[in-house]
């Protein structure tokens, strides 16, 4: 039985700031879950995800790379920078497969973007 990714979660010090950043970069929509102090991310297709406040003592670091499929890496990286993020790895071609880039959000959380050939 395969084990596909079914959910992703972004832990940040300021969930509302992350919500605004990722909404501006990827045009995601959200649903509040006040019972769990959680913001549900609707990406438009599976998997969907969530934003939560980083628990005390947990460092903001990239321990798992998650990639979001985009149509235009250059345009997406421009939106990242306009929204206050930083490019970590510029657009890099993968011959015969596509291209990727890595960026960090304003809190330093890293995320990847990917475009297929």
For the stretch 3-48, pLDDT in tens is 777 889 898 889 999 999 999 999 999 999 988 889 999 999 999 9
Q: How far is it, in rounded angstroms, from Cα 75 to Cα 71?
A: 9
CB–CB of 98/115 below 8 Å? yes
Residue 92 CB neighbours (<10 A): 11
Look at 75 and 11; give whichever has higher pLDDT: 75
At residue 110, the pLDDT reads: 86
Q: Structural domains in the chain?
A: 7-116 (3.10.180.10)
Q: How far is it, in rounded angstroms, from Cα 76 to Cα 113?
A: 8
């Amino acid at each position: 039985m395969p084990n596909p990714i079914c959910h992703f979660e972004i832990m940040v010090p300021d969930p509302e700031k992350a919500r605004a950043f990722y909404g501006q970069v990827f045009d995601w929509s959200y649903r509040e879950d006040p019972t769990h102090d959680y913001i549900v991310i609707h990406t438009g297709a599976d998997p969907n995800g969530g934003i939560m406040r980083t628990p005390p003592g947990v460092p903001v670091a990239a321990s798992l790379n998650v990639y979001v499929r985009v149509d235009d890496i250059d345009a997406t990286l421009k939106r990242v920078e306009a929204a206050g993020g930083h490019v970590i790895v510029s657009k890099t071609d993968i011959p015969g497969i596509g291209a990727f880039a890595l960026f960090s959000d304003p809190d330093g959380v890293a995320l990847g973007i990917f475009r297929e050939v």
